[in-house]
Structure 1
Amino acid sequence: MKPGTRDGLALTNSPPAINRNTVVGSTGVIIPISGSDEHAWIADFCESCNKCVRKCSAGAICDKKPVMIDGGPKHIDYIKCAMPFSKTMGCSVCIVECVFFRVDYNKIKAKYQTQF
């Protein structure tokens, strides 16, 4: 599973391709990622799509990359997201509108790679 979408979801290349992130604690050793990142294209794809940004009624998904205090990217304004999320028991507009929810991961990747 690789985080990458701006709506805070995790993508996999096997169904279901899109999953809501959650916090997982571990006492085990964290192995650093090394080598090339085969999923690096997802961030560029999401920046060119922006469907989740346009469809979010709360305006909670940022179309730019604001930076958090720790230097990491921030894509969701959780304060704006909280109200519709709590009123609808999990809103999920961003999930439903994301192309990765409806189209096979490998098809999206193949089409993206032929364009660039």
Structure 2
Amino acid sequence: MLATFLLCYGGFTALCLSMARHHDDLLGGKPSSRRRQGLKLAGWGLLGLSLWSAVAGKGWGFGLVDWFAVLMASALALVFLLPYRPRLALALSGLGLFASPFAAWALN
């Protein structure tokens, strides 16, 4: 479930960075159209990967329930971190994406 959370958080951060306002706040400057599309693709891909992680771990019945709970928790964490500690939110996303394969491997 930790790997699912980390992937969801990274996906939401990528989707957040695909918006011009948040990209400007976190990285400075507006994103190009190519970067915006890449961030959207990465965000949706990470959310899809997190769904696969949840379903692979607990099956479709409990995996979907866990995924929706983790989806809400990760979005809530990003929403609370973004206005007050935007750089921390970005750093945690990078660290989480780096640690997610290790979290998935630790559970198996």
Give TM-score, length-normalised by structure 1. 0.29
Which one has the bigger strand percentage?
1
Which one has the bigger helix percentage?
2
Q: Which has the higher contact order (CA 8 A, sep 6+)?
A: 2
